[in-house]
Amino acid sequence: MTTPMLEIRDLTVRIEEREILKGVNLVVPKGEVHAIMGRNGSGKSTLSYVLAGKEDYEVTGGEVLLDGVNILELEPSERATAGLFLAFQYPIEIPGVATMTFLKAALNAKRKANGEAEMSTPDFMKAVKEAGKALHIDSDMLKRALNVGFSGGEKKRAEILQMALLKPKMCILDETDSGLDIDALKVVSEGVNALRSPDRSMLVITHYQRLLNHIVPDVVHVFSDGRVVESGGKELALELEAKGYAGFDEAAA
Amino acid sequence: MHVPVRLGPAELKLIDQLTAAGAVAEAERLSGAGLPTRRVEAYHYTDLKQLLRTVPELAAAATEASVPALRVAGAYQLMIANGVVQETGTAPAGVIVGKAAGGVLSTRDDVVTRLNMALTKECLTLDLDGSVDPVIQIDRRTEGAAGHSTSAAKIFVADDSSAVIVETYAGSEQAHLGNHATYLALGKNAKVTHITVNLAAAKATHFASNEYHLAEGAQLRTLIINAGAALSRTQLFPRYEGAGAHADITGLNLVSEGQHADITMDALHAVPHTSSKPLFKSIARGRSKAVVQGRLVVARDAQKTDAKLMSQGLMLSDEAEILCKPELEIYADDVVCGHGSTCGQLDEDSLFYLTSRGIAKADAETMLVRAFLAELVDPIEDEALNEALTAVIEGWLAGK
Ligand SMILES: Nc1ncnc2c1ncn2[C@@H]1O[C@H](COP(=O)(O)OP(=O)(O)OP(=O)(O)O)[C@@H](O)[C@H]1O
Ligand SMILES: [Mg+2]
């Protein structure tokens, strides 16, 4: 069996003495797209933050392997340069940091970690322009400070732009569809689909079956009270839509 | 009952120096009151009696010049070394350079300015008319062995004229005491940018006092940077004296291990329809202290004054201290005045966001510090000047 892209084993996580993740088990093989659905507060964003290495969380048990490497001891920047990418549910606004400066720093950090030379400014501009065009991102937006004054939908598109530029091998998309209008949803989904490849995996967190019509998952996981309670094919999302989460709570109990 | 103040060695030395300079009344005043302690409101966080332990001999005339700490490319250069106004080359169009006897700040009841006034023998005078093209740099320095030097400049900017003036304070690497004064008067609709950069030696004490007079419609922007000296205090005295006068008074304390830097502003909105936006920032690392005091006085007649004072601090270590004290004294009833202050560490969520994209933590921190400062440096339009100031800040960030 080949090494999965992401393997989460019995992950338990606490925040301020409260257990939020209660033994998450999840395997995303290479090249696959998995979806996570689950009710508000069930711990989906917590899982995504813990994977990306946010400090506030106390990992009390379990393992997370990225392409066979345990990443729990790595700094967030090291996880990123190792190929992990989190598209935030709520991207952070950073006044005073120009979007282009940020994109260039991120891109070059990754290249440096891979032993590659820095990208020249013209090549960089070209790469951003191309990626931006595909996502219908207006170049004026990129002249502003990072995420500052971006609309909800613009922020989500900017996240996918970063993903397209950084070419991570494991993408986690935390509710990238929320706040998008119907057209933007299509554009963003196309952007995500364009990045699907045999050596890139994705974990798509969403509340809506609608997104999964655009980004068709290989596997759907139902998340409840800090763990995965059910996994199945894409039809599971439809079942969930019909029955609601209540039908799955027993499995959690 | 009158209890005489116990005088320390610094005060005794200053009294000697004042007496020798013939400033008998000042010497007596200092003997009676001593240096200000924390009980004096204006010196609450910068207790001079505690902090100023020794005063070096009055600096003799400079015989050598150290490498300039900062030189703005293309600027017209003027120099005051150890209090002596140096000869200069041909002045650019619209600039008349001269010299006058004595100091320049005669109106303040403040020990630092009084000392400057009493001890300064000559001042540089500048008369600016029209849109003065090159940046004017006044390079003030204290050279040679540790010395007490005072200097002064008096600058008049004519009606409808514009200029960019940079003052730098540096010199040899000795425990100097520098006390510098600037009187800057803006005529009607004059537009001036005044930048001061304290790059005094690591063991030095640096005092600077700037008094600004703004006539009708005058527009002033300042950027006061305290980066050098063990102990520094820069005092700003803007006076809004004509309708439509406006100033963006900005300042920056950059303090590292062992440093104490203070920016104290005492502003007077004297007439109706004037406005100001003082914005002060401090970054402190190691065991250090940054102080910002801002006082806004709005005279009884000064209706429609619009003044918003802001102070922001960024602490890069647990032992750093940033102290802010705003004070509003408003005698008019139809004004919009306010103040705000924030102080904290780098935002964790922002740091996480940047590092989650692969940017190393130290680089992400530098990006956020630069972002914090962008608001102060970005408005400086002159490219060479902007670069020079950026270099000062980058040098500090790199730990120099
Ligand atoms: N910093 C924090 N401090 C305290 N509790 C927290 C913190 N972050 C998350 N929680 C709690 O952890 C639980 C899980 O939150 P999380 O954001 O992971 O849920 P979610 O599944 O992403 O929800 P949603 O669908 O609304 O985005 C919630 O009860 C939340 O209140
Ligand atoms: Mg969430």
Q: Give B39-68 pLDDT, tens digit per residue.
A: 999 999 999 999 999 999 999 998 888 888
Contact between chains at B371 and A91 (C-beta distance less than 8 A): no
Within 8 A of B352 by CB-CB distance, chain A residues are 52-55, 76, 92
DSSP letter, residue B15? H
Does A1 reside within a domain? no
* ipTM, interface predicted TM-score of the complex: 0.96
How far is A23 from B284, CA to CA, in rounded Å? 43
Q: Give A232-248 pLDDT, tens digit per residue.
A: 999 998 888 888 888 77
Mean pLDDT of the residues in chain A: 92
Instruction: Centre a 10 Å sphere on the Cβ of residue A207 and count the other Cβ atoms it contains.
Output: 15
pLDDT at A1: 64
Phi (first) and psi of residue A162, to 5 degrees: -60, -40
Please measure the distance between the N-terminal and C-terminal CA atoms of chain A and give it in whole angstroms: 32
Contact between chains at A97 and B367 (C-beta distance less than 8 A): yes
**What DSSP assignment string belongs to B315-375?**
E-STT-EEEEEEEEEE--SS-EEEEEEEEE---HHHHHHHHTTT--HHHHHHHHHHHHHHH
Name the residue ranges covered by the structural domains of chain B. Answer: 70-345
Per-residue pLDDT, averaged over B225-237, amounts to 97
Q: Would you state the structure tokens that stand for residue A243, as one six-digit string? A: 């029955």
Please indicate if any CB of chain A lies within 8 Å of the CB of B367: yes
CB B141 within 8 A of CB B206: no
Closest CA to A174 of A210, A208, A205: A205
What's the gap in Å between A116 CA and the centre of ligand 1? 38
Q: CATH code at A243?
A: 3.40.50.300
Tell me the CB-side half-sphere exposure of residue A220, using CA atoms within 13 A: 23
Closest CA to A100 of A189, A58, A161: A161
Mean pLDDT of the residues in chain B: 95
Answer yes or no: is the C-beta of A46 below 6 A from any ligand 1 atom: yes
Distance of CA B88 to the CA centre of its chain: 24
Candidate from B358, B363, B373 with C-beta closest to A166: B358
- Structurally, how many domains does chain A consist of? 1
Q: Give B297-344 pLDDT, tens digit per residue.
A: 999 999 999 999 999 999 999 999 999 999 999 999 999 999 999 999
Does A241 reside within a domain? yes
Strands A58-66 and A6-15: antiparallel
What's the gap in Å between A44 CA and the centre of ligand 1? 8
Closest residue CA from atom 9 of ligand 1: A46
Contact between chains at A52 and B356 (C-beta distance less than 8 A): yes
In the A/B pair of chains, how many CB contacts fall below 8 A?
Answer: 81
CB B220 within 8 A of CB B212: yes
Distance of CA A107 to the CA centre of its chain: 17
CB B182 within 8 A of CB B152: yes
What residue numbers bound the domain in which A243 lies? 6-252
Contact between chains at A109 and B367 (C-beta distance less than 8 A): no
pTM of the model: 0.88
Answer yes or no: is the C-beta of A16 below 6 A from any ligand 1 atom: yes
